[in-house]
Amino acid sequence: MVKLANTQLSKSCGPNRPCGFNSRPRHYTMSILPQWSAEMAYVVGMITTDGSLSIDGRHITITSTDIQLLETCLHCLHKTTRISPNPIGSLSKKPAFRIQIGDVILYRWLLKIGLFPRKSLTLKSLHIPDEYFPDFLRGHLDGDGSIIHYTDRYLTKNNPSYIYDRVFVYFLSGSNSHILWIRKKIEELRKIRGSLSPSKSKTQKGTSVMYRLKYSTKEAKILLNWMYYRSELPCLHRKFQIAKPYITLLSE
Domains for the chain: give ranges and CATH numbers: 8-117 (3.10.28.10), 139-251 (3.10.28.10)
What Cα–Cα distance (Å) separates residue 187 from each residue in 82, 97, 182, 184, 235? 39, 34, 9, 5, 23
Give the DSSP H/E element, type plus range, for residue 214: strand 206-215
* CA nearest neighbour of 174 among 214, 129, 210: 210
CB 140 within 8 A of CB 43: no
pLDDT band at 7 (very low <50, low <70, confident <90, very high): very low
Compare 152 and 98 and report the one with higher pLDDT: 98
pTM: 0.83
| 207 — pLDDT class (breaks 50, 70, 90) | confident
Position 20 pLDDT exceeds 50: no
Chain segment 102-150, per-residue pLDDT in tens: 999 999 999 999 999 999 999 999 999 999 999 999 999 999 999 999 8
Burial class of residue 206, CB neighbours in 10 A (0-12, 13-18, 19+) = exposed
Query: CA distances (Å), 204 to each of 30, 50, 112, 173, in order?
Result: 34, 15, 30, 16
Q: What is the pLDDT of residue 5?
A: 35
pLDDT of residue 9 exceeding 60, the answer is no
25, 44, 193 from 245: Cα distances, Å = 42, 26, 23
Based on DSSP, count helices (H) and strands (E) in the chain, helices before strands: 8, 10
Judged against a pLDDT cut of 70, whether residue 59 lies above it is answered with yes
Instruction: Name which of 44-53, 152-161, 206-215, 241-250 the model is least confident about.
Output: 152-161
For the cut 80, the answer to whether the pLDDT of residue 26 exceeds it is no
